[in-house]
Chains A and B, each alone.
Chain A
Amino acid sequence: MSGVQDRQYQRQKFVDKLTPYLFISPWILGFFFFTLGPLVFSFVMSFYDWPVVGEREFIGTQNYEVMLTQDPLFWDSLWVTIKFGLFFVPFNIILGLLLAVLLNQRVIGSGIFRTIFYLPSVISGVALVTIWAWIYSHEYGILNFLLGLAGIDGPNWLGDPNWALLAIVIASLWGLGGTMLILLTGLQSIPKELYEAAKMSGVPAWARLIFITIPMLSPMILFTFITSIIAAFQQLTIALLLTGGGPLESTYFFAMYIYDNAFKHFEMGYAAANSWVMFLIILALSMMVMKSSSAWVYYEGEMKKGGNKDA
């Protein structure tokens, strides 16, 4: 091989090696600038007293100590978020599952129903808020009118600390179309033979639901479980605009607490510490759900390991 050819060969080899990295470079760069960088930055910030303007000062773990021991708002907002999650997560999955099961039967117009249930997931959170604010209106709201028809004296939804959180849960559940769609796709991939065999052996419909549908669907349920927990913790737009955290801070979500510390009180270091606590809680909850999943999630054959390794 002559020198020129050899150099060309070397060069070609280098280019071939580099090509894949060039293709994925947009994500790599984005990862450093918009994900890893900010993550590290926020972790560092959480050990500082860091106002937007003025001197920042290293204060060690003081932010975390203050948060855990001296800031009742931290615990209150965490508790509001957990309460919301305790209502929202199960209802989101159960109602999503109910709709998916109903639509998975041979129904006329199932496409139209599916579209209707998905529509609210398509619109902006701001639009959702303005829509529900008017529905919940104490004096002119259509909800209390309809409840009145049924003989129920509706509460002052957004003005009563006992009801405001539930009002946010209901408005959020309006957007369960995404969950429904994921579960519906899961249902459609369950082999029909399983049901036919069960039917032939005289297994009743409710037993087929509990012993075939739910286990076969459990990986999807696991996925929606984790995503709804994350959604619950990130709940901000609705609380910010529909109730502003009130009345009496009954809807003061953890995400709103972080937002206020950062952009209202301009305590960036403290807010960064808050957000890391949120991150760790979400991580811990997801881990717990994942860990417990081996007990209740059924993976057919190798599906479990097949997951992301099919490259």
Chain B
Amino acid sequence: MNAPLTRLQTDAETGLERQFSALVAPEPWRQQAFVRFAGQGLPNRRVEAWHFTDIRAAMAQALPLAAPAGDFPKAKLRGVGAEGTRLVFVNGSFAQAASDALPAGVSIRKDQNAPAAHGDAMVTLNHAFAAQAWLVEIAPGTSLPAPLQLIFAQSGPASATFSRVGVKLGAGAKATLGESYAGLESGHHINSLLDIELGDKASLVHGCDGAGEDALCVLSLFVKLGEGAQFTSFAMLDGRAMMRRQIFADLAGENANIALSGLMLGRGEAHLDTTLTIDHAKPHGTSREIFRSLLDEAAHGVYQGKVIVKPHAQKTDGKMMSKAILLHDGARMDNKPELEIFADDVVCGHGATVGGLDAEQIFYLQARGIARPEAEALLLEAFAAEVVEPVENDAFKRHFCDRLAHWLQARGGQV
């Protein structure tokens, strides 16, 4: 009677298995990672953290692995990300020729260390397939005047890219880091992993620019904060792609401060997902998560935020808010904020709203002579400004404001 339950493999899963067995002598830890992945399969709606983003259903085939490429035409990188010192990764490997010279106090090298195993299937898949890992180190006490721009570019026809980059800030270092994606227009599969570690009292402003058309992207961000470290991150996800951005934040030192914000701009059949876990492990930590979504046409937005306060993480101060505006009957938003609090002396709160544009406000603007598309653009820009306006770095802010203005213009309204 106890027939063994065999999970049926999808074509994509079979393809991934075939690809992995064809690899030449992957490190043992990569092999172990693949075994763990194969035990789970691709994330699907039965996996709680992936309930709204069913990769198993979305990934019809495993695409061929992207061939290593040493260069990328600089012209194709124009307008990608904000200004700054560019570090370009093409198909997952560092392309020195396409990159700028590194400023003093910054180095990059291959990282030969095995990453710590993680329960997430897409992270595990990244560990298995990323052939190279890179580590950018910012020396203790360094204060970088210009942003570092990590640019992940895809070359060639539709393929799968697994990139793994670590960024380590020494104690007291201060920097601004961009994370941008280019060349995502021909149906690529992107599985990118960025692992940031902030030494004591280090401070990093991070901006992620996730634009993609017709791609399937899983962008995982790990961030670990030392004592008194400060991490501020803003992300803009837009396009018609399926894009999941997942953040795993570990407030490992006391008095750490994390502020995550983002704007998702969905249209067409876009599926945009921001999922984050904040782990307050030490006392006196502060976390802020503020997200806005504008969803048009048949776009689907997902926000999942989990804030965990460990038993001894007293005096934690956490606030989380996700607000979405649906601009079309076909658009949809799933909000799932969660708090798991095991300490008794904390201040934590969360909220989430989903609604349409306010018809009374639209009429008021129209009654003054502002045509409906412009009236909508004014209100949407104001809504989005709540997360774009506080972006700390001016170059980032300009970049994101431009991107937002383009998105609004494409809808037919101009402010």
Interaction A to B: no
